[in-house]
């Protein structure tokens, strides 16, 4: 079995859950176990597809899985401050603690810490969060040129800190068992489905 840490190193660490798993490491573990395909990381694109095919010894898919929404590029969340009611639901949903604020107080997004995962959108009851395109990163030979220079490492570290605070990533503690991961996965997918349905009705 390929080491999940090696697979995880080839993921962009946006923690977006588009793959259907709670975070990049969860997806890496599932790929290592052979439980899911290597074609489920839209932010990673062709770079990740090619790398995972080589690591797992499987044929490189021509495209990403058909059930995935097209990746729209790296974007960051922004709270429309005049519309925020301070419910704190977005804070709880953010996988990397990029949103600050408190109950019944206006929230704001730390743009440099935001992975663009969009997981803060579904729980917002007043749709006061929008996704914006940041200033493009300088062209370079990085694996994911549109991300800031050290973004993947910073995103991974932020996710680990959040898990450690919740007791789920503490040294010596067992990582989430598979039942927990499945429950989180179902909750994420259902929240995204509700959000899309609500936005579709508003646009009709």
Q: For Cα atoms 145, 151, 157, give the angle at the middle one, nearest 5 degrees.
A: 150
Tell me the C-alpha to C-alpha distance, in Å, between residue 154 and each of 38, 74, 83, 86, 147: 23, 15, 30, 27, 11
Phi, psi of 67 (to 5 degrees): -85, 0
204 residues of the chain, pLDDT tens digit each: 789 999 999 999 999 999 999 999 999 999 999 999 999 999 999 989 999 999 999 999 989 999 998 888 899 999 998 899 999 999 999 999 999 988 788 899 999 999 999 999 999 999 999 999 987 766 566 677 788 888 999 999 999 999 998 776 544 344 444 455 566 556 656 666 666 676 677 665
Structure tokens at 178: 């598979």
Contact 52, 38 (CB under 8 A): yes
pTM, to two decimals: 0.78
Helix (H) or strand (E) holding 78: strand 76-79
Distance CA 151, CA 12 (A): 8
């Amino acid at each position: 079995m390929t080491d999940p840490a090696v697979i995880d190193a080839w993921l962009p660490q946006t923690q977006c859950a588009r793959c259907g798993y709670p975070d990049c490491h969860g997806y890496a573990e599932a790929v290592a176990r052979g439980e899911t395909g290597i074609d489920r990381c839209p932010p990673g694109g062709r770079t990740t597809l090619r790398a995972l095919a080589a690591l797992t010894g499987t044929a490189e898919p021509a495209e990403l899985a058909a059930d995935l929404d097209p990746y729209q590029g790296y974007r960051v969340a922004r709270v429309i401050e005049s519309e925020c009611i301070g419910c704190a639901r977005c804070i709880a949903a953010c996988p990397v603690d990029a949103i600050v604020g408190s109950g019944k107080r206006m929230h704001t997004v730390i743009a440099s810490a935001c992975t663009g995962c969009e997981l803060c959108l579904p729980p917002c009851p007043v749709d006061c969060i929008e996704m914006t395109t940041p200033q493009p990163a300088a062209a370079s030979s990085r694996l994911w040129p549109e991300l800031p220079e050290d973004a993947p490492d910073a995103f991974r570290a932020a996710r680990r800190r959040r898990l450690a605070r919740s007791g789920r990533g503490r040294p010596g503690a067992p990582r989430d068992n598979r039942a927990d991961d499945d429950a989180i996965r179902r909750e994420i997918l259902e929240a995204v489905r509700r959000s899309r349905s609500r936005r579709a009705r508003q646009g009709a």
